[in-house]
Amino acid sequence: MEGYGLFLVLLVSALLLGFLSVLFALVWVFHYREGLSWDGGSAEFNWHPVLIITGFIFIQGIAIIVYRLPWTWKCSKLLIKFIHAGLNTIAMILAIVSLVAVFDFHNAKNIPNMYSLHSWIGLTAVIFYTLQLVLGFAVFLLPFAPVSLRASLMPIHIYSGLLIFATVIATALMGFTEKLIFALKTPAPAYSTSPPEAIFVNTLGLLVVIFGALILWMATRPHWKRPPEQNSKIQQPNGGTPEGTEEESTMTDCSNTDKSDVEFNSEAAARKRNLKLDEGESTYSSSC
């Protein structure tokens, strides 16, 4: 893998930032706020930032780059697809539970639902995320969609995924802003006086933005793409695919050492193709 060292540095940085963000969310609700419970009060609301940061930001971010981890390139593509879909499903469930916590808290306190821009964009993101997951499952995991459909939908799937991820982070930033303004007012020191909680949550906002920036960088470098499988079944003349996707018929898990040489050669060839693409990009870039 070209630039393996840099990839590792960025991956470790992203993981640290992700863990740190979750830790910051927990410190925020336990040290500065009312902790966590499910009683219709503020401690129920607090599940909202904790679950969004854990699931909808950290886990979603990892789900996005799981194909890019070079040590998974010897594994079956189907297995990685299941991990990608599984992580996104966990993220979706946590996001939905976090929404229930907010609606429950609002209803208990007679606060209207869905009035803020944060709620408009946040709910839209959850709906699109669910649609993306269902569509991704139907097209890329189930064995019925023809290769031509998969190929034409893949750029949209990738773009939508990254756009939703960025939108979720933007929504979280609006959420931090709302919560700090509402929570930090008389008799508490106002947000505008920069009490420790304000500095702490602003810092959490920065952590989340940098985490998102790292994930987006890793996810969009062409030379860090998972190399395509070398399997003649991919190129079906009628654009159709038999039951079972192309890879699972030849590679089913990561533990089969007998096939490692073949796979290594496939990867080497695939990397070579990827590099050719990159060179094309460089040629283009050099005229800019």
- In the complex, the residues that contact its own copies under the rule CB under 8 A are 77, 81, 111-112, 115-118, 120-121, 140, 147-148, 150-151, 154-155, 159, 163, 166-167, 169-171, 173-174, 176-178, 180-182, 191-194, 198, 201-202, 205-206, 209, 213, 216-217, 220-221, 225, 228-229, 231, 234-235, 246-247, 273-274, 276-277, 280-288
Minimum CB distance to its own copies smaller for 90 or for 216: 216
Least Å distance between CB 125 and its own copies?
10
Minimum CB distance to its own copies smaller for 46 or for 171: 171
Least Å distance between CB 283 and its own copies?
6
216 burial via Cβ count (<10 Å: 0-12, 13-18, 19+): middle
Contact 125, 171 (CB under 8 A): yes
Minimum CB distance to its own copies smaller for 43 or for 207: 207
Give φ, ψ of 195 to 5 degrees.
-65, 165
Q: What residue type is assigned to position 269 of the chain?
A: A
Least Å distance between CB 14 and its own copies?
15
**Distance (Å, whole) CA 200 – CA 217:** 26
Contact 105, 45 (CB under 8 A): yes
Minimum CB distance to its own copies smaller for 96 or for 233: 233
Cβ neighbour number for residue 74 with a 10 Å cutoff: 18
Cβ neighbour number for residue 197 with a 10 Å cutoff: 19
Least Å distance between CB 222 and its own copies?
8
> Which alpha helices (H) appear in 28-146, and where do they start and end?
42-45, 47-51, 60-65, 77-109, 117-136
DSSP 250: T
Minimum CB distance to its own copies smaller for 74 or for 81: 81
Minimum CB distance to its own copies smaller for 97 or for 141: 141
Least Å distance between CB 131 and its own copies?
15
Least Å distance between CB 197 and its own copies?
12
CA torsion, ordered 177, 57, 128, 41, to nearest 10 deg? -50
Taking each helix axis from N to C end, the angle separating 117-136 and 147-183, rounded to the nearest 10 degrees, works out to 160
Least Å distance between CB 170 and its own copies?
4
Minimum CB distance to its own copies smaller for 98 or for 274: 274
Residues with Cβ within 8 Å of 198's Cβ and at least 6 positions away in sequence, in order, are 180, 184, 191
